[in-house]
Amino acid sequence: MAFKWGSKRSWLRRGRGNYPYAVARVKSKKSLLLTKDNYPKLLMMDLTEIARFLGETQYKVEMAELASRYDGVNLIELGTSMNQARVYSQILGFCTGDLKTTLEKYLARWDYMNVKTLLRAKLAKVTVDELQEDIVAAGKLSNDDILALFSMDSIREILDTIGRKYGMGVPDDITNALETSNDLGPVEDYLDKLYYQRFFEQLAHPTRPEKVLVNWMRIEVDVRNIVTLLKLKRYNVHTDKPESYFIEGGAELSIKELVHLMATDSLDAAIGELSKLTYYEQIKDALEAAKTTGSLSEVEIALNKRLARQSERLSHAYPSSVLPIVDYIVRKKIEVDNIRIIARGKQSGLSPDQIKKLLVI
């Protein structure tokens, strides 16, 4: 007999999580996010003024704790990343049951991101302080876990440990290739694929809102794959195994279709093929601009904006589910990314107009 989803109340009973309470708590946190009106003001501030402004917002605890040891971009980046990790941990802390389990599966992305970050930092021989500016300890790996990995003698030791201790093993052939080439690309690609593969496997039998979350994640996979495709075409990358660059599980673009797009004659031809996407109109202008400028930043921003809009719509459609919480997590990341882009842009001497084009607002 086929399974029927039934009413919305049926999945609430099945979930056994504290959905109404958790959503209400997250709604309160969402009210603290920066508004669109804040960004023009930030664009006109210098780094000291930005840090002072953040010290009067939800970032005040971190900014106060760090102000005696850091300043400028370092203060802003470390303060925002620490706040982001603290907020995500708080959310997990007040969620229960299947709601918490689902969020843990979603937030596991930060474990994979942090491993990639510490591997890059290890190769670049950066300091611990520089590493921590880019770490968001929001998954199962704590800040101490990440620092312990970073302190190890070699990349191989790190990879062996994450495989043995944290279940994030990288195949030997990829590890061996890294040791001879120092190219982290294949390792990062493998870890990206592993995260999405496990997420989809773990939610193979979802409740209705979880199914919507899975479908939204498949759109995210499309976004990742489209950006990868366009970068490969932009830089004329030729490979015998184009499928190795892409993540399985997209909503509209299969690996086979992506490989077909890789075989097109040019970046312009690949862009033309993307007109078949259901959301092409939302990214059309950015794609057309890329044909002229060769820059893909506008396309990436347009795709991320589209993903954020979809997240918000789904949170309204399922107001007592995991989706409003995921929507907040997405918006919090966008806010932190925007603040860091502004700070780095200021440090690099970019004009407010140049920086504004890089923001997802």
pLDDT tens digit string along 30-77? Answer: 999 999 999 999 999 999 999 999 999 999 999 999 999 999 999 999
CB 137 within 8 A of CB 146: yes
- The pLDDT value recorded for residue 10 is 45
Per-residue model confidence (pLDDT) at position 331: 97
Instruction: Check residue 17 and give its pLDDT.
Output: 87
In a domain, residue 64? The reply is no
CA within 13 Å, CB half, 39: 21
Provide the percentage of residues in the chain whose pLDDT is more than 90: 80
Q: What are phi and psi of 315, to 5 degrees?
A: -65, -35
pLDDT given at position 225:
95
349 falls within a domain: no
Q: Is the pTM of this model over 0.85?
A: yes
Q: How far is CA 230 from CA 150, 305, 318, 339, in A?
A: 33, 18, 34, 26
Q: Is residue 250 part of a domain?
A: yes
Q: Is residue 71 part of a domain?
A: no
How many C-beta neighbours within 10 Å does residue 45 have?
16
Q: Is residue 260 part of a domain?
A: yes
For residue 260, the model assigns a pLDDT of 93
Instruction: Assess if residue 212 is contained within a domain.
Output: yes
Q: What pLDDT is stored for residue 57 in this prediction?
A: 97
CATH number at residue 282: 1.20.1690
The Cβ-side half-sphere exposure at 178, using a 13 Å CA radius, reads: 23
Domain that holds residue 226: 208-321
Which parts of the chain sit beneath pLDDT 70?
Answer: 1-15
Q: For residues 237 and 261, is the Cβ–Cβ distance under 8 A? A: no
Domain count for the chain, please give it: 1
Q: Say if 221 falls within a structural domain.
A: yes
CA distance 274 to 175: 34
In a domain, 111, yes or no: no
